[in-house]
Each structure stands twice: as structure tokens, then as C-alpha cells.
Amino acid sequence: MHDIVRLCEWGRASINDWSAGERALTRHAIAHWQNENHLPVAPLTCDETGLRAQQWVGVVEAAGRTIEIYPKLDATLLDKNTLPQSKAAGMMSNLLWMLDVAEHRDLADADLAGLDSLESFFDLFAWILARRLLNELEGGLPHHYLLHSDVLRSVRGRLDLTRQVTTLWDRHDRVACLWDEFTPDTSLMRLFKCALRFLQPRVSHATTVGLVSDCLSLLDEVSDIAPFEALAQARVMFWDRNTERFRLSHDLARRLLGGYAPALGSGSEETFVFLMDMNKVFENYVTAVLEHHFATLVRTQECLGTLFRLERGGIRQYADYLWQSRGALWIGDAKYKHLTKASGQPLTFATLNAETTSFRAGQVLNAGDVRQLTVYAELSKIHPQLKTLGAPHLALLYPYTGNATLKEDTAVAWNGAFFHLMPVRVGGFAGAPNLNEVLGAVSLIHG
């Protein structure tokens, strides 16, 4: 059992009891993962001063130590590096819900039954992979013809003439054969089996253990291979109608095994890193929520224009979200910030500016974030395809973890645009989460 160190995004943790070798091995594991994912900055630093995390959430295993990094929205759940099981289950369920919606998009209701004891990130990863993969495997394993060759006593398939007349020219009792075998033992299935074998000893949640075992039983005819071999074989995949349904599971399995690496200079020691950029997770989650709520296609990272009217170097401006609803243009910007930490209630302009409150709009809302959205509004007014839609509605979308009734609040910005404070629920669900409960009702009637 590895010693566990827990911290949150942008948090710090002391590792005074770690040796120099353990720190070096951890840095090597993080550097390997950083290089594999082409990141300019390390997601986690480890030195004599301790651990310092950025916006990445997940797990690092190295030198017999485990580092768990949790979402910053759940920072209050950590108490001096401890996480009670009841709180861990709620946090993991909320994170699982976000990941399901962000990655799959087509889930209106996440099946979270039985997750009352989900405690670790490995349980989380295994649940996401095995639950979906089991449904896909029960639909039938894709088979392909694979070429086999061997030296046999009698002919099977067709004769390998070149080998027969060269290396076996004087062996009349041996026949070089080539034949095709219709088998499920393909590179895709080997990748899945390897990922499940890797997760199996690390999973403790009873339901998840059952899911992993059920998947492995369906993959009984598939070969067991090492992670590096599985990744090499699955580097180039040819998708067809029989395998397309496995694409999401393939992507997750590759990401999981991509975090595995042997630790240089440590014998049989192995390392594992799997981290998720929570900014991206929240942005993808919000995309799915908006598309469900407004029943329309939401365009992401849409260029609205440039800050300078130059042929080159105009500084392009990209909106996180752009969509239309009931003839109105909406421009949205996702801010993965815990804006409601002080009050626990969804933001309203009246509350932010009340004389009795200890904080003001300028302290909670970043002026740069507001200014950015209003610039988007001005650019949309001169955009060739958008200017005919009139003044846009602006939405600042922020995560909300409380259990109060969701509602958006609106004020008129300096340029006349309607500015909406729009909470997006990422926790505090009453019962099973549902996308209908994630975004408050939005009205287009203002003044």
C-alpha cells in the first residue's frame, strides 16, 4: 500500500519525510508525462520545498508514494491531508458526473448507483472505462483475419514457398505454412485487456471490481501483452463500422497506459501518472450543458475578430461559446473559479453590491473577465455573419457546488449588452444528477 499525499489544484503539500531519491523519481515520472503530452510547464513540481500543483487533477505513483490531486472546488474537504470516506465518495461522484458529460456528451443521466464508497482515482478511472467498455463488448467482439505462419508436419492454409525452398529445402518432414485466422485477438482488444489488467490490482470499489472482471472474462481469447507493446500496436488504428463504437474507450485506455513508465535506475520500480486539465474538463462540461439546455449546437473557440485592423498581427479574439436561441445571439465565457465560496449562494448583482455584504462585485468578479466579454459583444456587432442578429447576450458561466436553487442574474453592461451571471452546478446534487438540474432557467425578457 503506497503512502498517500493529498492536495488540491494550485495547492501545496509538505514532503519533509521524503528522501532525495524519492523526490528525484517523482520528478522523473512527472517530466516523462509532461513530455508525452507536450506541455510547456510541468503539471506538478516536487522539490525540497514540497509539492506544488497547478490546474491538473489526478494521481501520480512513484517511489512507493502516491500523490492525489483534487479539484480546487473541493479544497474544504481536505483536512490536513485526510479525506473522510463519506466526503471522498461525494467528490468522486461529482467528478465522475462531470467527466462523463464532458467526454461523452450524450449522457442525460449518469448512472451513479452504488458509488457510495468510491474513494480513489483508480476506482474512478476503472469505473469510467469498464462501465462503457462492458456494454460495447457485450455487443460482440470485433473479429479480424490475422495472418499466421509456422512450420508444421502437414499443410495448413497455403505453402510458404520462399521459406520452404530456402531454410527448409532439406526437411521433407516439415512444411512452411501461411494461414489466416478469424480472431478477436486484435491490437484494439489487446489494448483494452492490458489497461484492465493494469487497473485490476489498484481497484478496491466492489462494483467497479465486478465491472473490470466481467470485461476481462469477455476478453479471455485475447492475448496478454505489456503496456508498451499494447501502445505500440495501437498507435495506428483503422476504424470501421465494427470498431467505431469502441473509439471513446480506446482513447481512455491509451491515455491510461500512456501514463505508465518504468523508473530509470530503480530496478523493477514502475511509475504511473494520469492527470486531467480541469479547465478543459469544465469547458467541455459546460458545452454539453449549454447544448442540452438550449437544444442547439454550441460553437466553441469561435473567432469574433481582431483587436487591430491589420493584415497580420491583429490579435484574434476567440469566444469560448457561441450559440443562438430564439433568434438571439449568445456569447459565453467559462471561468473555472470558485466565485461562490464566500456566500454559498448563486451570484446576484444585488447581493454583491448590498451595503451589508463584506465583498463587492469588483472583488468577486474579475474586471478583465467582464471587459473581455463586452469586447466580444462589440466585435460581434461588426462581424459579417453576426451583426444582423443584433446586440448579443453575454454569459459568464461559473461552477457552483452548493445545493441552493439555481438562478441566473442579469445586468446591463456599459455597452448596452445584457450580462448574465450563469451558475453551472458541478456538485450538491439532490439524488442522481440530471442535466436538467445543472443550469438555472434563463429568460430573454429584460427591461
pLDDT tens track for 282-294? 999 999 999 988 9
The answer to whether residues 246 and 188 touch, using CB atoms and an 8 Å cutoff, is: yes
* pLDDT for 169: 80
Query: Does 281 score more than 60 pLDDT?
Result: yes
* pLDDT for 441: 62
The answer to whether residues 142 and 184 touch, using CB atoms and an 8 Å cutoff, is: yes
Question: What values do phi and psi take at 109, rounded to 5?
Answer: -140, 120
Question: Per-residue pLDDT tens for 349-408?
Answer: 887 766 555 555 557 888 899 999 999 999 999 999 998 888 899 999 999 888 788 888
Express as a percent the part of the chain with pLDDT over 90: 35
Residues 6+ apart with CB under 8 A from 347: 339, 340, 364, 365, 398, 409, 421, 423
Residues 6+ apart with CB under 8 A from 25: 62, 63, 263, 266, 269, 271
Task: Quickly list H helices, 84-184.
Answer: 85-104, 121-138, 161-166
Question: Per-residue pLDDT tens for 178-211?
Answer: 888 888 888 999 999 999 999 999 888 888 899 9
Query: Does 42 score more than 60 pLDDT?
Result: yes
Query: Angle CA(353)–CA(361)–CA(441) in degrees, nearest 5?
Result: 85
Cell 514532503 belongs to: 15
Confidence of residue 86 (pLDDT cuts 50, 70, 90): low
Which of the residue ranges 238-242, 274-278, 382-386, 409-413 would you say has the lowest mean pLDDT? 238-242
Rounded Cα distance between 427 and 421, Å, is: 18
Which of the residue ranges 142-146, 300-304, 356-360, 372-376 would you say has the lowest mean pLDDT? 356-360
Q: Which of 131, 54, 122, 120 is nearest to 91 (CA)?
A: 120
Confidence of residue 267 (pLDDT cuts 50, 70, 90): very low
Cell triple for residue 258?
Answer: 500512456
Amino acid in the structure at residue 266: S
- Report if pTM > 0.85: no
Beta strand residue intervals within 239-289, DSSP E: 260-262, 270-277
SS3 43: coil
Overall size of the chain counted in residues: 447
Confidence of residue 336 (pLDDT cuts 50, 70, 90): very high
Cβ neighbour number for residue 270 with a 10 Å cutoff: 15
Query: Does 114 score more than 60 pLDDT?
Result: no
Confidence of residue 117 (pLDDT cuts 50, 70, 90): low
Identify the top-confidence range among 5-14, 100-109, 257-266, 352-361: 5-14
DSSP state of 82: B
Rounded Cα distance between 33 and 45, Å, is: 13
Amino acid in the structure at residue 233: Q
Rounded Cα distance between 62 and 51, Å, is: 14
* pLDDT for 408: 82
The β-bridge partners of 260 are: 272
Looking at every residue in the chain, the average pLDDT score rounds to 83
Q: Which residue has the higher pLDDT, 261 or 5?
A: 5
